[in-house]
Structure 1
Amino acid sequence: MTTTASAVLKDPLGLHARPSVKLVKLAKTFDATVEIAADPEGPWTAAKSLIKVMKVKARHGTALHVRATGADEAAAVAALVELVEADFPEDGSDG
């Protein structure tokens, strides 16, 4: 089974370096295979690879689609969507 959801990017610069690092760091905390896409039809990109995430080039206002497959897929998708919806906050935690 695969869990999918999306959230709109609020950052004026879209998915740039800082949010990409946060997204990858969070994705790596899950066992599930996690992927993102700027379009629901893809192409889908491995969310645990910073280089690949940076290549997504999702702009401000784009719905970032997240999907995951594996043991903790629902938690992974929920956490990444929450991160995007919160606009990648600077909370001081290292995850």
Structure 2
Amino acid sequence: MTKANASVLLFHEVGLHARPSVKLTKVAKGFGARIELATNADGPWIDAKSIVRVMAAKAPKDTVLHFRAEGGDAEAAVAALVRLVESDFAEVEEGA
């Protein structure tokens, strides 16, 4: 079983609010791997595919987001999520 993890700085002006949370969970759901997110390297870890849990994390701007994944496409999943955050959630911008 492949495992992957990475950390990335959240610099979105209002943090991980509704729109970025929806985009993040949408990307996460595109992968078969189990993907988790935390705002602290030690956890608590939450399901990155759960919009309710991701929004409840209420990560403010300048929070370091930690991703970990397990499954056949774990590395691709973590890389995609890091790219999404680094692009300030523009990667899947509708109508852009």
Shorter-chain TM-score range: over 0.9
Kindly provide the amino acid, as one letter, of the partner of residue 94 in structure 2: G
1:12 is displaced (CA, Å) by 1.6
Q: How many residues align?
A: 93
In the other structure, the counterpart of 1:42 is 43
**Percent sequence identity over aligned pairs:** 53
Alignment of 1:52-71 (within 5 A): 52-71=53-72
Secondary structure of 1:24's counterpart equals helix
Query: What residue ranges of structure 2 are gaps of 5+ in the alignment?
Result: none
Secondary structure of 1:22's counterpart equals helix
1:2 is displaced (CA, Å) by 2.2
CA distance in 2, matches of 1:64, 1:54: 13
Q: How high is the TM-score relative to the length of structure 1?
A: 0.93
- 1:29-61 CA-to-partner distances (Å, cap 9, x unmatched) read 000000100001000000001001011111100
Query: What residue ranges of structure 1 are gaps of 5+ in the alignment?
Result: none
In the other structure, the counterpart of 1:75 is 76
In the other structure, the counterpart of 2:11 is 10
In the other structure, the counterpart of 1:92 is 94
Cα RMSD (Å) of the superposition? 1.2
CA distance in 1, matches of 2:57, 2:41: 13
CA distance in 1, matches of 2:35, 2:27: 10
CA distance in 2, matches of 1:91, 1:18: 10
- Structure 1 stretches of 4+ moved >4 Å: none
CA distance in 2, matches of 1:57, 1:80: 17
